[in-house]
Every structure is written in structure tokens, then in C-alpha cells.
Homo-oligomer: A and B are copies of this chain.
């Protein structure tokens, strides 16, 4: 026991203590203030770290162990309550520094809006960037009741930023009619309801591309992820999401960053969703960070 060193209990399991030596950095973005329905995802990253202690370090899916990847847990980015503008800027600035240091960014939300500044930062580095997006919701609004920084807008923002043709959404089962129309008219890919089959068709077309993967946990059915802000029946199983992550890991795309967002512990009565999220993150670390 070395109790005279600073305690580092609540980090994602097997995190590496040294930033410089790490290939990837895992970090939280504890923001939920633009949420229109049920807030609470600000506590998601902390709970995911806490339950990660229950994970095995070996993936029988990928036949790889956490020891084979070096990742640093940077904690949560301190975001100013109720101020989405400053929050967005702080996140972008942080990702810029990670990318400059050559780290693979692996983010934990927080509401989905946090992915916008991350993707924007990543797009600065990789000009051929494509987005693979798993979600129940389109997130393609231009604004929510007049507010453009909303949990309903991040995919619209990145689609306009890098071009809708470079964005691939899967599992979508909720949105406004106008959002689906905009996607269609602008050449953005949306797989309604389905995930794994269309993903397997798309992946070969992205071979060699730099890809950012963003997972809204509500792409899972509420049976598999009750602990999230906006539950929506008719989603996929956790088996299918695992298989989708593995499909990407086994493809020829080059994953350059990823996140998993919208875990809300207060709705997650037996920590089922947080446990599932922590397993997905393990598979993302083992499958995406080469």
C-alpha cells in the first residue's frame, strides 16, 4: 500500500497514471443544461468510472486486454453551469490540445451537444473526416425554440460544417419530419431503425477514411438503457451495439476519436446503463485505439 500518494480511486479501470505515455485520453463532459426533457447526464461520467471497477480487463470479443492500450483518465472538464457557449468553447479548446499531443480522444457525456465542439476540433485536424453516429434521435434541428446550442442540434452543426455527405446516422427512430427531409435532400445518410446491417454495408465505402464515432446511449432500447434523458421504445439491443462497435473495429476505417453520451444515473436504478456504458467504452478502447 502506498497511501501517501494522492488517491486516484474513481478513474476508469486500469487507466494509466501518466499523460505523456498514454495513447488515448478518456475525459468527461458533465453538461446537461440545454436538455429539454429530463436532465441528469452531468453525473454520467462519474458513475461510469465508478462502476467500471466491475469490468473484466479482457474482452473475449476482441481477444485483447486493457493492458495492451495505454489510456489516461483526465477527469471531467470543469464546465460552467447553465452557460452552453462557454462550455462549448472550453471543450473545443481541450480537444485541440489533446489532438496536438497526438492523443486519441475518448469522451463521456453529458448531453449530446458536447460532441459538437469535439467533432469540430477533430475536423480541423482531419480534412477527410467522416462521422459515424448511433442515436435514437436525428439531432438535426437548426435550433430548439430559437436556441442553436441545444441537445437537438449537434449533428446538424457538424453536418453543415463538414458536409452532410460525410455524416452517417444509424438507428434513428425519432425526429421532426423536416429533419429527415433535410438529411435526404442534402445527401446525408440516415438508417432508420436499423444499425448493424446498414453499417456493414457502409463501412467498406469508408475504407481508409478518418472517422469519428459518436454514440448516444439512447440508440439502445429503453430495456437496455433506461438511465438516459429521452427514452424511446423500439431501439436496438446491447448485443447489436457491441457487434456494431466490433464491426467498426474490424473494418478498414481509421477511428480518430469517439464518444459515448447521455447516460443519466438518476434514472438508472440498478446502474444497468452505467455498467453497459462502461463495457462499451472498454470495447471502444480495445477496438479503436490501435
Contacts and interface: CB of A to CB of B under 8 A. Distances in A.
Query: How many copies of this chain sit in the oligomeric assembly?
Result: 6
A135 B1 CA distance: 31
Contacts of A235: 238-239
B58 A176 contact: yes
A224 B233 contact: yes
A5 B32 contact: no
A214 interface: no
A143 B207 CA distance: 44
A271 to B, nearest CB: 7
A40 B266 contact: yes
Interface of A: 1, 3-11, 15, 17-20, 25, 27, 32-40, 42-43, 46, 49-50, 53-54, 56-58, 60-61, 63, 65, 72-78, 80-84, 90, 94, 97-98, 144-147, 149-150, 172-177, 180, 192-193, 221-224, 226-227, 230-235, 237-239, 242, 266-272, 275-276, 279-280
Contacts of A223: 221, 223-224, 237-238, 272
A267 B78 CA distance: 24
Contacts of A268: 270
Contacts of A150: 81-82
Contacts of A83: 147
Nearest to A236: B239
Most buried by B among A90, A144, A238: A238
B224 A222 contact: yes
Contact of A58 (B15, B98, B175): B175
Contacts of A33: 33, 39, 81-82
Contacts of A7: 8, 11, 15, 73-75
A275 B232 contact: yes
A266 B269 contact: no
A40 B40 contact: yes
B238 A242 contact: no
B81 A82 contact: no
